[in-house]
Chain A
Amino acid sequence: MLLDVGNIVRLRLLSICGLALVLFFSAAIVFSVQVPVPNQQPSGAPSQAIPSASPAQTGTPGVASAPISAQPLQSGLNIVVLDPAHGGTDPGARGTGGMRESDIVLDLAAEVRRALEQQGFQVVQTRQGNDNPSFDDRSALANAQRGAVFVTLHISSTGLPGTVRVYIHSDLPPLTDANGMIPWDRAQAPFLGLSRKFGDLVQGFLTQRFKGSPDTPQAAMVRQLRTTAAPAIAVEISSVVVNDRSDLDRMAPGVADAIARGAAAFKPQYVVPGVPGVQP
């Protein structure tokens, strides 16, 4: 018998030695490897393809989607995925008095959520607190829903204060591979027409309320929208250069109401294909 396990003192000594060894080797690994951990996944990394048959059915990047027939089929828009942009180490636009876009959009999302729930929508948020999911993680959350639209919320650094702009993604050449799958990095391509309709409605309601806002949604290469397989818009409020945050907070109910009314108006126009194999 080498060791009397009943002796607590020796056990403690052993534990301390073991802990010291583990700590040392952990420290050595951390110091020597020094591998930077990317905050965002590189856009080209996910190799997952989205079945063209399903406008809103994908999984996490890199994980194969479940067969369409395995999921219950529903028709009609019933879910809104809200994306308060930035967060964590990425504050987004920064304004006077330490205003951070990431904080403001989180509060705005709560207001939008309430308005949408009053309209009978189920709301899913890409982040609830001060964290920063990657672009692909945010898209994956939307792509996993069936019958969803996606709204990403932003505050700009520039632009006429008190105005709100809706953006849709610029034209993406539609592309499917030999199996009829849409590449992850072009997931938005089949939904551009629907995104424009949804954007038109939301921008219309916003322009009624916020004078000086454009009449129609603008096209821009918004990274977040590109990998989203659903009707998707970005809503950007101008701007963080206001003197007081209360100026932006006062806009929140109007923005929330416009998004909720836009989603409600869009609902009859968005019929989720009940038969697999049909693109939107």
Chain B
Amino acid sequence: MMGRWKFWVVTALVITLVAAAIYIPILRKRMKRAARQQQQSEEQARRELIQPVPVNPGDPRVRTTLFWASDSDGSALAPVVIELPLSKDPVLRSKQVLNTLLAGPVDTELRTLPPDAVLLAFYILPDGTAIADFSEAMATSIPSGIVSEQLAVDSMARTLEANVPQIQRLKILIHGQEVETLAGHVDLTGTFVVNTKLAAPPAPSGPSSVAMPAPKP
């Protein structure tokens, strides 16, 4: 009787080991394939991003106000007025001003956004909420800290406020996803008020409806 018991136990163990030997390599292959697919989609997104925002040379050159850091200690914003050919379409116009903001000022010490960050997508909802989707570099390359993160968000909100009056609020996504913070400090679960005159009061509940007033100039 004991011999049979031992036989069944050993058989079960052998079957288990054989199953493991077959199953684990399959799982590994699947994991590798999934990782490869993710990498490919990231590459594709990157390629799409690199495509420049179409600039129509016929667009009139207009005075554009951009907000970069005001001094080298990077704690306040200052307006800089330059002339740019800007589209009348609010989405294209927003992309143009945000890309200029990302390109940074002549004095790189005054930049508010990381140089390797890319604007992946931008659209405006019917209620005036703009959605700006940035590459991961926006979160990973920005200097970590309350002052630097708040300055980055404020520079975008105030630049849009100055140049695209149709936008009332700004929602920031990172690689298509809502993230809790920009780099560990500033809250990205809500929206930022862009146009303080037009923005309607926030919806009655939910963190995504929390709206913050743009800082006073």
Show the binding face of A for B, using Cβ within 8 Å: 1-4, 10, 13-14, 17, 20-21, 24, 27-28, 31-32, 34, 40, 42-44, 85-86, 90, 92-94, 101, 135, 154-160, 165, 167, 170-173, 175, 177, 183, 185-186, 218-224, 226, 234, 236, 238-239
Q: Does B204 contact A (CB under 8 A)?
A: yes
- Closest chain-B Cβ to A65's Cβ sits at a distance in Å of 19
Q: Quick check: B145 and A157 within 8 Å, CB to CB?
A: yes
- Closest chain-B Cβ to A230's Cβ sits at a distance in Å of 18
Q: Offer 6 A-B interface pairs, CB within 8 angstroms, sorted by A.
A: A10-B5, A28-B20, A28-B27, A155-B145, A158-B75, A220-B147
Task: Say whether chain B's binding surface is mostly helix, strand, loop, or mixed.
Answer: mixed
| Alpha-carbon separation in the docked complex, A34 to B33 (Å) | 14
- Closest chain-B Cβ to A274's Cβ sits at a distance in Å of 30
Given A2-B1, A40-B180: A93 and B144 interface contact (C-beta under 8 Å): yes
- Closest chain-A Cβ to B67's Cβ sits at a distance in Å of 16
Interface centre among B1, B2, B20, B146 (most CB of A within 10 A): B146
Q: Quick check: A170 and B213 within 8 Å, CB to CB?
A: yes
| Alpha-carbon separation in the docked complex, A112 to B2 (Å) | 69
Segment at the A interface, from B100-108, B125-133, B182-190: B182-190
Contacts of A156 in B (CB 8 A): 143-148
Q: Quick check: A234 and B16 within 8 Å, CB to CB?
A: no
Contact of A175 among B24, B205, B215 (CB under 8 A): B205
Contacts of B212 in A (CB 8 A): 170-171, 221
Interface size in chain B (residues, C-beta < 8 A): 48
Q: Quick check: A10 and B206 within 8 Å, CB to CB?
A: no
Nearest-CB residue, chain A, relative to B75: A159
Q: A31-B31, A218-B147, A238-B73 are in contact. List 5 more A-B contacts (CB 8 A).
A: A85-B184, A157-B145, A165-B146, A183-B205, A220-B146
Contact of A43 among B73, B144, B189, B211 (CB under 8 A): B189
Contacts of A24 in B (CB 8 A): 16-17, 19-20
- Closest chain-B Cβ to A185's Cβ sits at a distance in Å of 4
- Closest chain-B Cβ to A99's Cβ sits at a distance in Å of 12
Segment at the A interface, from B6-14, B42-50, B54-62: B6-14
Q: Quick check: B19 and A223 within 8 Å, CB to CB?
A: no
